């Protein structure tokens, strides 16, 4: 099983912190975000991880190395700067991801979503399916998709994409190298009933600002004190 961690962005809303530190290396209670992703993927049985690098990507590569100390093999897709968008980033890395369904995780989220469940879902993905999306209640974020009996629909949108997915390389058929978003590919596939989905209602944080990171650290610290 292979997985890709998206780690190329700059994290504009975290500036000036991210002027010198890539956002995926920002610590939550002392643990860098991307390191936690690697450890959780390894615990879920993933042994090969691809990470795309953009802004200050050399720092991420130096920190994680080849992945041996985490029990995984890490390969890097070095995009340079400006980096490619999500669709372009995954497309550029397809040669490293193989022909089987693979997991994709954004490097700037914090969650307790059980990644072992996503591994199981990837192994059971039907041949006609191009993607499986994990969604969360929209909360403060915009709604992206609906889910009807395990199938992702474009409307009426009521859930937010949780930045966890399983993809097939067939999703990118006809794409060309360069920056492009991935959402239009999902929407086109959903219109053809080729996207499955689930709703996760557990702990999930999209860390877009220093304030959100501070709030998460406060929550974790409070839980540790009461444990």
Q: Mind giving me the DSSP string for 154-184?
A: SSS--EEEEEEEEE-GGGGTT--SS---SHH
pLDDT tens for residues 20-77? 999 999 999 889 999 999 999 999 999 999 999 999 999 999 999 999 999 999 999 9
| C-alpha–C-alpha distance, residues 114 and 172, integer Å | 27
Q: Which residue segment(s) compose the domain that 174 sits in?
A: 2-226
pLDDT tens for residues 162-177? 999 999 999 999 999 9
**Cα–Cα distances in angstroms (integers) from residue 176 to residues 91, 92, 112, in the given order:** 8, 9, 35
Q: What is the pTM of this model?
A: 0.95
CATH number at residue 55: 3.90.550.10
Decide: 162 and 152 in contact? Cβ < 8 Å.
Answer: no
Q: Is the pLDDT of residue 149 over 70?
A: yes
- Residue 227, pLDDT score: 64
Q: Is the pLDDT of residue 142 over 90?
A: no
**Cα–Cα distances in angstroms (integers) from residue 7 to residues 21, 22, 107, in the given order:** 12, 8, 5
* Total number of domains in the chain: 1
Q: What are phi and psi of 90, to 5 degrees?
A: -65, -45
């Amino acid at each position: 099983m292979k997985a890709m961690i998206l780690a190329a962005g700059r994290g504009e809303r975290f500036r000036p912190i991210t002027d010198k530190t890539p956002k995926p290396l920002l610590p939550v209670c002392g643990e860098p975000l991307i390191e936690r992703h690697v450890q959780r993927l390894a615990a879920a049985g993933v042994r090969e991880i691809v990470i795309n690098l953009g802004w200050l990507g050399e720092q991420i590569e130096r920190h994680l190395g080849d992945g041996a100390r985490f029990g995984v093999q890490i390969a890097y897709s070095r995009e340079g700067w400006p980096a490619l968008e999500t669709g372009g980033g995954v497309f550029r890395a397809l040669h490293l991801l193989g022909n089987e369904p693979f997991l994709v995780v954004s490097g700037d989220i914090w969650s307790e979503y059980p990644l072992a469940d996503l591994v199981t879902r990837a192994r059971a993905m039907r041949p006609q399916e191009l993607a499986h999306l994990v969604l969360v209640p929209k909360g403060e974020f915009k709604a992206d998709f609906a889910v009807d009996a395990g199938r992702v629909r474009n409307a009426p949108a009521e859930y937010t994409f949780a930045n966890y997915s399983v993809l097939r390389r067939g999703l990118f058929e006809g794409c060309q190298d360069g920056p492009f978003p991935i959402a239009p590919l999902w929407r086109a596939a959903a219109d053809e009933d080729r996207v499955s989905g689930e709703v996760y209602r557990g702990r999930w944080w999209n860390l877009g600002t220093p304030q959100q990171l501070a709030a998460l650290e406060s929550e974790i610290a409070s839980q540790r004190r009461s444990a």
